[in-house]
Structure 1
Amino acid sequence: MSRPAQYDVLFEPVRIGPRTMKNRFYQAPHCTGFGDVFPGGNAHHRAMKAEGGWAVVNTEATTIAPEFDWAGQMTPSRIWDDDDIRNWSLLVEKAHEHGALAGIQLHAGGAFLTGFDSRMPGRHLTDRLEEAGWLGSVIKMDKRDIREVQRQYVAAARRAKRAGFDILNIWGGESASLPVQFLMRLHNDRTDEYGGSLENRARFWLETLEQVHEAVDDVVIAARFCIDSLHEGDGGIRVDEEGVGFVELADHLVDFWDVQVGGENAELWIKDAGPSRFYPENFQQAWVSKIRPHTAKPIVGVGRFTSPDTMVEVVRSGQQDIIGAARPSIADPFIPRKIEEGRLDDIRECIGCNVCVSRVNARWHLICTQNSAAGEEYRRGWNPEVIPPARNKAKNVLIVGAGPAGLECAVTLGKRGMAGVHLVDASDDLGGHVRWIAGLPGMGAWGRVIDWRKAQLGKLPNVQVITNTRLSPRDAYEYGADIVIVAVGAQWVDTGINGITHQPIAGVTGSRPDVLTPEQVLRDGKPVPGRRVTVYDTEGYFMGSSLAEKLRRDGHEVTLVTNFGHSSPYMDFTGENVHMRPMLERLGVTVRSEHIISAFEGGVVRAHDHIAEQRELEWESDALVLATQRVPLDSYFKQVRELHEADPGAEVQAVYQIGDCVAPRMLLADAVFDGARLAREIDAQDPATPLPYIRERRLIGSTDETYAAVLNRPEGR
């Protein structure tokens, strides 16, 4: 199968300075949580995209010197000295193996630093700490300091070239880097030649680009540029002012423009990686399209591109020349190859849940809801498109439960060539709880988790899908399968028991019509009685806030109660709270944070302050919706297992469980991963126990010449 002709434009080569991209697909710089601490993980993650057809793969923001250390805010990614060259060379080598160009994003953070690793202050354009820089300390740069920082850029650029990088990107994305901080009046109140007019505020970046140009040759020079900071007050970057103005000033110094919007401060950079519930595909179009009249150089733009038709449109319209993508390249590193081969329905579309972002913000490596192999390319040797045949593929498998774990397991086992896979579910359709989660306001894109897997199952002749069939544990055991896998999920408790009090709420029972769980509201359509509704959330992710939003939009007066300092704290990591919390306020939802509900009796909710354990409050409520805790539906598995243990000579050879019926997972990605993990290891000696994975670490006793030299110094002891 070959690609339809309308997509030919996406595979035209693009000249960028001294290099040529083989097509228009550009993996935009993005954090992985691997940094240079886990070089194997980083290199193999990027290499998977190169294998999938991306013409360029990039690092994350890579600090140029110890003074710009931001360990603790991000997993460190550094090119401080020659030792770093060895680790980055692996990434370059892996990218080149598949015909991709490799780019590095050189970063000096100014005030946005921690100094956790270096124990040093950093040089900044002022002596003022910035919004996200409260952990560090800064020194105001004089002209001598400015020259020293520029020398650090040049030294890092030379090291990057020695590592083999094709593209050196002087980062000014969002507002967490010196070049764009100089440009923003919000940060820059200098009165010398580096402050004031646009030309003066651009001077630091322009000089840095010039010096890098002079120091290195035969490499591509780029500037990742925040063309509009989406700042709501004075002092931000406006595309019609600083945006196009800087492009005109610096155009002769770059080989292409890598542009993005969002980042009025470093805490709100998430407006660039906008979650799908608030940002549609190509949401940056209004700003990016304004750059074209001001440069003839190629333009890269981003916007969570998942549709090949949208990609074609943005190129043909002149909005941009190159398709930049971070999250879509994580969800499916093989997007270019699948388009080229005409396999459009095989594209694993990003759902915009931002779980990848959340793990990096939580200071660890990324994962992905759609792509269970993301982050596991090196650790476990997983390739999302190449799944080796099972050694025990003559076996027949029954999977009970077609939620996210069961679906993923069935797809993976089918692709591994198992003789027969029967996926059985009691409901009339596939997807489990994802079906009704996708019905929450703004969360329709989450339904892609089901859609992609249903499409894959339809292509696997060895997989049979059976719905509207409820199997008892004995039915499952006697089904005739060699292997039985239970994936029946979990459910929300209807008593209000939670991890804070460890007790049910006084007066609350599951039989009360005015006490409801999320399943009853969203799956069963059970009416929520009365006008006044209280939602109680002790989980801390999307469910409590989303229910509050839905019920308010349905016309109820809603009070959202949570034990946390504010609603849905995990959504700080995904970036959704940047919009969710203000939206709940605009909708008129009353939020009572740091409170525990102790009773719901006689139409009155009683709660007390969770921190001070005083200030008991009471208010009238017609209904209470509980998003406090889920419990696994594990009795089904235990009954099947007991039947198996009592009948060792039976046809059934093994019984396993996966997903939320093992333990409820807050992240959908972890349930999907669980199904994939068992399926990928179904032919291991003990599939129930995960195989060891590679742990990148330093071992005491290994050779380290630098460490030995420090120990042998008199002052080093």
Structure 2
Amino acid sequence: MADGSPKRDARYDILFEEVQIGPITAPNRFFSVPHATGHNPLMPNGSIGMREMKAEGGWGVVSMQLAEIDPTSDISNLPIEKFWDDTDVKSHALLVERIKKHGALTAIELAHTGIRARNMDTGTPVLGPSSMRILKPQNPIQSKAMDKQDIKAFRDSHKRAVHRAKQAGYDMVYVYAAHDASLVWHFLNPMYNQRTDEYGGSFENRLRLFREVLEDTVEAAAGDVAVAVRIPAHDFKSGSPLTYDNEARAVIESLAEVPDLWDVNVAGWPRDSGTSRFDDEGHQEKYTSYVKQVTTKPVVGVGRYTSADAMVGLIKKGVFDLIGASRPSIADPFLPNKIKEGRIDDIRECIGCNVCVSSDAYSVPLMCTQNPTISQEWRRGWHPENIPAAPKKENTLIIGSGPAGLECALTLAKAGHDVTVAEKASEFGGRVIKESALKGLSAWGRVKDYRLYQLQQMGNVSLYAESEIGAADVADFEADNIVVATGSKWRNDGAGATTFSAIEGFAEHALTPDDIMNGGEISGPIVIYDDDHYYMGNILAGHLAAKGHEVHLVCPLPSIAEWMGYTLESPRVLDEMVELGVHMHPNTTVHGWNDGALEVSRSDSGRVLPPIKGAHLVAVGARLPDDALLSELRAQSAFEGKVTGIGDCLAPGIIQAAVFSGHAEARRLIGDVPKSGIYKRETPVLFDR
């Protein structure tokens, strides 16, 4: 272009073609599929702000998450959208208005969660095809087998929800049959449907309710809005006939031309939203590519796609008509616009860590390792691309180039500060460099790669590797602001999440994850004591077992890597440990390391167990902030008011927390914070009937 700005490569033009979806036309092929956001129905402003940002970023279709159609589908211990009656229409209408302002289409995923519901709030029986325990084994709840009156009531309720969706102004309504969390899917699946009437038994009978609800929806839509179906094209659950080469294909073939759009994925959710540790980009294609062969209607699918070339390939191969995304649209709401504007290198690629998923499972607004502004669009006014200009140009010295330091540097540089980053190591990136070298975590290197590339293009940034900075050196920089981002170190004394003080014999003998990641030579059997309960303990176990070591993984909690249940990884972590021959010892309390053996007992009963012998002990527990420099600088009056700490050197945490810390501090330094220090909150409206 004449002005020197980037120009889109012509091979990506196909991604910006319009796509006809029944009575509506998508402006491009980028489709933000329904996904939970952690915002419950009492937090509409946050939900709207997040989705409007995607529309501004160029997503042609932006979808609302699963929306319960009535009180018999209550799953209120999770932040799920409610769309029960006309009182819910107002906030949805505002969402639709804000999304359409940017030229995007809107969709809502109408759903009844069947035997995934709990109904603990509403007190009504959980409804399902058969009388059985609900799909939450921890809950002592059993479903009621729906009778004909229940089925009619469900169909009527779904039709009323379609009319409410039209009233709110949505362009598309979904019939939801995915993630093992849909009543119609439960009727389809003989594992749950044990009926002997016309709704059970044969494939056609099990398909009956799905067909009826879909036809009801098409009738209620009346050509005013498009009708989409979301369904797994393959079910990974053992024993399920709903696979890509069996009944899942038969379902889509039987209903091929009824909806206006097929939105396909795989079941269950842990396989649909597999992490990069276990699933590469596009991992679902094997199971979803047949759908275009059996229908003339447009198809959208997902696969954690961040590569524009991969997207083009999917369209040209006839796999999909639209590129679906949830996690990539969280990591970079402006992904479509960056491709459109020829700024491929500016895409903030999803690393597939599932921190976003864990947020929803914890019932809090989404967090993201790559995008610290997610969920902050409304309450803090943060924009992922536009950083307010600093009120005055200042010089900022950042000591340390881990995820916190790099994010702080990038945000300040965008605001107009002159930024110097000093790193004592030979490479920039801090903990990300070492962790991304471990088995299964290579995609995590994107945290460093994105930020470092951006900084290297900026004229107001100076990057100095192999530059260890001491307190005496800081004065020479004459910086207006000094940000310490020196990280943390793993403890070697056994202190962790359940044991807060040193364990006998650990400090004298234990290695740490830092020792392993720094290339320390080890041989013979290895005992890993994991009192961290996230990824590091089992990652190291797999990493070392894959190199041929005998590995024992010891954990004081009832299960290995318990927190990874929130990232949907627990079952696959355990499978990997078994496959690699790792000896697992959950529910095991450690008392000490003596004479090459771990002295242990059962965590529940206290019964003494045989010692676990090894040539090496690795302690994976708590970390210590590397805050000596921070403390020294703060103690000097010359730096009063100028020094802050960020990331792990302040409070060791996950990478997402470090990135957020760096971003938040940069916003503070440029004055982009409320005077009260309290961001906007969504508060209930009190009323008296």
TM-score normalised by length of structure 2: 0.97
Three-state SS of the structure 1 residue aligned to 2:230 is strand
Cα 1:372–1:81, aligned 2, differ >3 Å: closer, same or farther?
A: same
Which AA in structure 1 matches 2:423? Answer: D
Q: Which shows bigger deviation, 534-543 or 569-578? A: 569-578
**Alignment partner for residue 113 of structure 1, among 102, 113, 117?**
117
Q: How does 1:476-625 map to 2 (within 5 A)?
A: 476-510=474-508, 512=509, 515-522=510-517, 524-528=518-522, 530-625=523-618
**Alignment partner for residue 683 of structure 1, among 660, 670, 673?**
670
2:623 equivalent to 1:630? yes
Which AA in structure 2 matches 1:661? Answer: C
Tell me the alpha carbon deviations over residues 262-314 of structure 1, each in whole angstroms, 9 at most, x when there is no partner.
Answer: 21xxxxx2110010011011111111111122101000011000100000000
Q: How does 1:214-233 map to 2 (within 5 A)?
A: 214-217=219-222, 218-233=224-239
Return the alpha-carbon distance in structure 2 between the equivalents of residues 636 and 613 of structure 1: 43
Three-state SS of the structure 2 residue aligned to 1:130 is coil
**What displacement does 1:603 show?**
1.2
Which AA in structure 2 matches 1:114? Answer: R
Query: 1:395 matched to which residue of 2?
Result: 394
Query: 1:295 matched to which residue of 2?
Result: 295
2:28 equivalent to 1:11? no
Query: 1:380 matched to which residue of 2?
Result: 380
**Alignment partner for residue 663 of structure 1, among 631, 651, 671?**
651
Query: 1:468 matched to which residue of 2?
Result: 466
Return the alpha-carbon distance in structure 2 between the equivalents of residues 601 and 174 of structure 1: 48
Three-state SS of the structure 1 residue aligned to 2:635 is helix
Given that residues 609 and 615 in structure 1 are in contact (C-alpha distance below 8 angstroms), is that contact kept between their aligned partners in structure 2?
yes
Three-state SS of the structure 1 residue aligned to 2:80 is coil
Return the alpha-carbon distance in structure 2 between the equivalents of residues 326 and 17 of structure 1: 23
Aligned-residue RMSD, C-alpha? 1.6
**What displacement does 1:241 show?**
2.4
Given that residues 531 and 555 in structure 1 are in contact (C-alpha distance below 8 angstroms), is that contact kept between their aligned partners in structure 2?
no
Given that residues 46 and 376 in structure 2 are in contact (C-alpha distance below 8 angstroms), is that contact kept between their aligned partners in structure 1?
yes
Three-state SS of the structure 2 residue aligned to 1:384 is coil
**What displacement does 1:499 show?**
4.1
2:182 equivalent to 1:177? yes
Tell me the alpha carbon deviations over residues 93-112 of structure 1, each in whole angstroms, 9 at most, x when there is no partner.
Answer: 11101111111001101111
**What displacement does 1:33 show?**
0.9
Return the alpha-carbon distance in structure 2 between the equivalents of residues 341 and 508 of structure 1: 55
Three-state SS of the structure 1 residue aligned to 2:506 is coil
Three-state SS of the structure 1 residue aligned to 2:81 is coil
Gaps of 5+ in 1: 264-268, 710-717
Which AA in structure 2 matches 1:624? Answer: L
Query: 2:3 matched to which residue of 1?
Result: none
Three-state SS of the structure 1 residue aligned to 2:191 is coil
Query: 2:209 matched to which residue of 1?
Result: 204
Return the alpha-carbon distance in structure 2 between the equivalents of residues 414 and 7 of structure 1: 30
Given that residues 667 and 673 in structure 2 are in contact (C-alpha distance below 8 angstroms), is that contact kept between their aligned partners in structure 1?
no
**What displacement does 1:611 show?**
2.4
Which AA in structure 2 matches 1:695? Answer: R
Query: 1:692 matched to which residue of 2?
Result: 678
**What displacement does 1:541 show?**
0.5
Q: Which shows bigger deviation, 337-346 or 369-378? A: 369-378
Return the alpha-carbon distance in structure 1 between the equivalents of residues 252 and 499 of structure 2: 57
**Alignment partner for residue 640 of structure 1, among 623, 633, 646?**
633
**What displacement does 1:115 show?**
1.4
Return the alpha-carbon distance in structure 2 between the equivalents of residues 53 and 156 of structure 1: 28
Return the alpha-carbon distance in structure 2 between the equivalents of residues 90 and 498 of structure 1: 46
Cα 1:202–1:281, aligned 2, differ >3 Å: closer, same or farther?
A: same
Return the alpha-carbon distance in structure 1 between the equivalents of residues 116 and 327 of structure 2: 24
2:131 equivalent to 1:127? yes
Query: 2:443 matched to which residue of 1?
Result: 445
Which AA in structure 2 matches 1:586? Answer: E
**What displacement does 1:561 show?**
0.8
Return the alpha-carbon distance in structure 1 between the equivalents of residues 237 and 597 of structure 2: 43
Given that residues 400 and 424 in structure 1 are in contact (C-alpha distance below 8 angstroms), is that contact kept between their aligned partners in structure 2?
yes
Q: Which shows bigger deviation, 17-26 or 476-485? A: 476-485
Three-state SS of the structure 1 residue aligned to 2:98 is helix
Gaps of 5+ in 2: 1-5
**What displacement does 1:653 show?**
5.3
How many percent of aligned residue pairs carry the same amino acid? 38
Which AA in structure 2 matches 1:349? Answer: E
Query: 1:261 matched to which residue of 2?
Result: 266
Query: 2:337 matched to which residue of 1?
Result: 337
2:343 equivalent to 1:348? no
Return the alpha-carbon distance in structure 2 between the equivalents of residues 148 and 239 of structure 1: 32
Q: Number of residue pairs matched? A: 682
**What displacement does 1:690 show?**
8.9
Return the alpha-carbon distance in structure 2 between the equivalents of residues 288 and 254 of structure 1: 17
Given that residues 359 and 367 in structure 1 are in contact (C-alpha distance below 8 angstroms), is that contact kept between their aligned partners in structure 2?
yes
Query: 1:57 matched to which residue of 2?
Result: 62
**What displacement does 1:548 show?**
0.7
Query: 1:282 matched to which residue of 2?
Result: 282
TM-score normalised by length of structure 1: 0.93
Given that residues 400 and 476 in structure 1 are in contact (C-alpha distance below 8 angstroms), is that contact kept between their aligned partners in structure 2?
no
Return the alpha-carbon distance in structure 2 between the equivalents of residues 496 and 516 of structure 1: 10
**Alignment partner for residue 421 of structure 2, among 420, 423, 426?**
423
Given that residues 221 and 227 in structure 2 are in contact (C-alpha distance below 8 angstroms), is that contact kept between their aligned partners in structure 1?
no
Deviating runs (4+, > 6 A) in structure 1? Answer: none
**What displacement does 1:132 show?**
2.3
Cα 1:299–1:471, aligned 2, differ >3 Å: closer, same or farther?
A: same
